Structure 1
């Protein structure tokens, strides 16, 4: 039975302790939701098929209920033309996984107390919206970060399936006005959309830097720029590296540290070697959650010249810019996608043409060379972050997932106008099913 003002079950293909911006958002929603939001996710990484290291310990200390299946999706697809037998095996496995997921959702929702199911991965879990009737007519909301709709679908059939999901769900939460506009262009009714910019955890990103932070992290003491994200093309790491010789012309001792892992890692490291920048650019690999705030705060500038790819893939918002801001560090970001809503241009940092290494370098040098400007923008960035904490975001999320009309009066986030089967692996703090 659907209960007004009840709990929300948020389903995602993966979750912390794996790394990802969307995962950070869902973790924050659940923690600040104080028992009103539960997570259904996987105990195994769909990329590798291996069990996620440390998930039991994470779940035991998360502070909210996490339900886990071994998997909620299969790995990367295979073309039926390239390998028909493997494609058939993958298809059959995918159907089996979907049956298990649907059974798990029905089992959880049948306990009562839920007013909504929020789908956190449109591409691989949006199909659940097709089963609304057998889920008891519960309100279903789709969370859209950006690239799921900005990136061109791989086929007309895929685009049709995407559009069908948007039609069937009761509401859509987007992380930026940029994403909302794309949805409206696709024919989604404006009053079906809630624009909710990502929030920042002010209890974690306090704006206070511990003494000797750089030495503790073994960082250089000169001018320092930090960059962070999945090492993929749309993040613009290659252009940032290309900009570094221009930075060194003005600031010879400037250092760049890059955190993150991804498919472009070897290519980026090769680029650094080709430009003979090994002394000035360091790759950190995956950055632990415990150290992240210190990296942001220890840096003089945060830079990520994100860009829009030819197929439309782009940054839906850019949580990293808000995290840097919370640590009073100004940002340099690409004028693309939703990043234009994460950085207040000229106040909390600079937006630049993401394909121009010289423009990127000029913005970075301007901040590194002007202590007064950097301090001023850092203070403004912190104030901006303080206005985007999670308490108000969660209030809007819970109101919208229960009933869109309940959002009336909220200021921080806005509706755009116009027999119990075993679920498999269970979290240590999961209720008994």
Structure 2
């Protein structure tokens, strides 16, 4: 089962009637949001408590579940695997390079829903400092969401608004092409007052899969997806200055950027393959 609420309620009730055994996958928001409300917290605890196993996307989420009172051995961490694959389409990649006039220009890329938690505006505000030393930098944003109008308004206030491009929702093939083109992948999420936080950040692994250095923020379970100083740079959340410094550090040190990207790629291929996740699940259930 991959949805604790509301689907989990039906499965939980059915388990008493049909003696059904079940396991639950939890990812982050499906735990962090309901635990703030007494009724939903009670229901969440009972659904997860009756499960044969709770499979958490990372240790951050696993600890939230254990804090509900579940025994440690009932909660198992199964890291997700990158969804975007290296789709071989050099023609598309080159077409995008030509269409946006990107020859010899550094490219900053973010992939994610345009929502407050993702922290896009931190990057936008950091760009002014970056442009003073790297005026050719282009910033591309993939994704849609309710925060788009606010982000577009912020873009309009920048000195080089035409160098920030919202690509909207695009298919996997084009996303793969942009990951191939990117110089740096960046996403700087932050925890919100309502408990919403980045549970893991699968997109960091997808960028690493393409050999890209990543910049992330220290929140939620991000530090499990990005190893600071080894596969990327982690800055404190909501820190515009640190974000700008991290971007410039990678732009000024291409050998460092290449090393971080290479180490990230090796880590993803060894530790986050779909095969290894499937085997881990088999081991958990004794298959």
The two structures have a TM-score, normalised by structure 1, of: 0.62
Which residue in 2 is equivalent to 1:141? 23
* Distance in 2, Cα, partners of 1:209 & 1:381: 22
> Does the 8 Å CA contact 1:257/1:282 hold for their aligned counterparts?
yes
Q: Residue 249 of structure 1 aligns with which residue?
A: 132
Aligned counterpart in structure 1 of residue 274 of structure 2, from 383, 386, 390? 390
- The equivalent residue for 1:413 is none
Asked if structure 1 preserves the Cα contact closer than 8 Å seen for 2:34 and 2:40, the reply is: no
- 3-state secondary structure, aligned to 2:81: coil
Q: 2:260 aligns with which of 377, 393, 412?
A: 377
Give 1:17-416 correspondences, 5 Å limit: 119-127=1-9, 128-134=11-17, 136-151=18-33, 153=35, 155-200=37-82, 204-205=85-86, 210=90, 213-216=93-96, 218-219=99-100, 220-221=102-103, 222-387=105-270, 388-400=272-284, 403=285, 406=286
| Change in 2 beyond 3 A, CA 1:140/1:317 | same
Partner of 1:69: none
| 1:205 Cα deviation after fit | 2.8
Conserved 8 A contact 1:228-1:304: yes
- Secondary structure of 2:5's counterpart equals helix
Shift of 1:153: 4.2
Structure 1 residue 212: Cα displacement: 7.2
4+ long deviations beyond 4 Å:
none
Equivalent pairs, count:
282
Gaps of 5+ in 1: 1-118, 408-433
Q: Aligned Cα RMSD in Å?
A: 1.9
Whose helix fraction is larger, Structure 1's or Structure 2's?
Answer: 2
- Cα displacement string for residues 376-416 of structure 1 (whole angstroms, at most 9, x for unaligned residues): 1111111011111100101222443xx3xx28xxxxxxxxx
Kept in 2, the 8 Å contact 1:152–1:311? The answer is no
**CA distance in structure 1 between the partners assigned to 2:31 and 2:25 by the alignment:** 11
Query: Does the 8 Å CA contact 1:201/1:389 hold for their aligned counterparts?
Result: no
